[in-house]
Amino acid sequence: MTIENLSQAKVFGGWHKQYSHYAQSLNSSMRFAIFLPPNATASNPVPALYWLSGLTCTDENFMQKAGAFRAAAELGIAIIAPDTSPRGDDVADDENYDLGKGAGFYLNATQAPWSKHYQMYDYIVDELPKVIEANFPVSEVKAISGHSMGGHGALTIGLKNSERYRSISAFSPISNPMQCPWGQKAFTAYLGTSIESWKEYDATELLKLGRTKLPMLVDQGDADSFLHEQLKPESLIHAASLHGSELNLRMQAGYDHSYYFISTFIEEHLRFHAKYLFAE
C-alpha cells in the first residue's frame, strides 16, 4: 500500500496534503487530498469527514474553494477528498462532461467498457478508508458529505452503509437520479437498462425502503439552475417522510449551485457532523 506525497501546505495549524496511489478496485492510479487538524497525532487519531465532489471536479475543488479548514482545525476533524472518477489513458471516457472521467457517480459499473475501472462505490466505501487509516492519524469514526453528484454519492453510500458512518450531509444533491437526465444517462451507461439495479444507487428509492439510522442535513439553494430538472429535493423529502427518517432539508433563499453556496454553510455542516463524530 504505497502512497506518494504530491504536495503539502500548512493551514490553520494543520496540514493539507495531496497524494497519489494505485487503487486496486479501480485498476488505475488515483489522487486524493487530506486535511489533518493540529491535534491529529499517532496517539490521538481523529475522526474524518469524507467529501465527495460533483461533476467535472477533482480532489482540488473542495479543498481550494470551500473554506472548511478553520472550522475543521477547531473541531479536530480530518477531511478526505477523493477524485470523482478513475483517471488514465486507458480509462474509458465520453466527450460530454456528465459521463466518464470526472463523472464516476460513486457506483460500481457493470457494463463494458466502464466496468473495468469505474468501481467508485468500492473505492469510497472500502479501499480508500483502509489507505487513510493505515497511513494517517485518522480513526475509523467517519461521516460523509458531498455536492451535486457527490451529494448523491454521500446519500446513497451513507444510506447503504449506516454501520460505517455517523452522519450524512449534502449540498444540492442529485436526490432522485432515476428521474433526471444526468442520472438516467449515467445509469444506462454504467449499469445497463435494469431499473432494479438503478434503485441501488438512488437515495429516494433507498429511503422508500425504510427508516435510516443516520441523521441527514441537506442544503439546497432555491436559485440553483439545476433545481427542478436535475436535483428534485421534493422527492427526497417525500421518501424520508414515509418512515420518519431524520432528514433536515433546508431551502436557502437566493443561493445557486456554486462553491459560494458551499462556503457559506460548510461550517454549519462540520458542526452538524461533529455532534455525532464525537458522541460516545
Indicate which residue of 148, 172, 235, 245 is catalytic.
148
Residue 179: all three cell numbers together: 428521474
Structure confidence at residue 225 as a pLDDT band (50, 70, 90):
very high
The reported pLDDT for the residue numbered 106 is 98
Measured in Å, how far apart are the chain's first and last C-alpha atoms? 31
Question: Cβ contacts of residue 182 below 8 Å, gap of 6+?
Answer: 55, 98, 149, 174, 230
Structure confidence at residue 183 as a pLDDT band (50, 70, 90):
very high
Q: Which of 232, 263, 262, 252 is nearest to 171 (CA)?
A: 262
Q: Determine whether 225 is an active site residue.
A: no
Q: Determine whether 126 is an active site residue.
A: no
pLDDT in tens, 208-217: 999 999 999 9
120, 68 contact by CB (below 8 A): no
The fold of 3-278 is Rossmann fold (3.40.50)
* Domain ranges, ordered by start, for the chain: 3-278
The C-alpha atoms of residue 214 and residue 142 are separated, in whole angstroms, by 12
Structure confidence at residue 1 as a pLDDT band (50, 70, 90):
confident
**Segment 17-29 mean pLDDT:** 98
pLDDT in tens, 187-206: 999 999 999 999 999 999 99
pLDDT above 80 for 40: yes
Indicate which residue of 98, 224, 235, 273 is catalytic.
224
Q: Determine whether 83 is an active site residue.
A: no
Structure confidence at residue 280 as a pLDDT band (50, 70, 90):
confident
Q: What is the pTM of this model?
A: 0.98
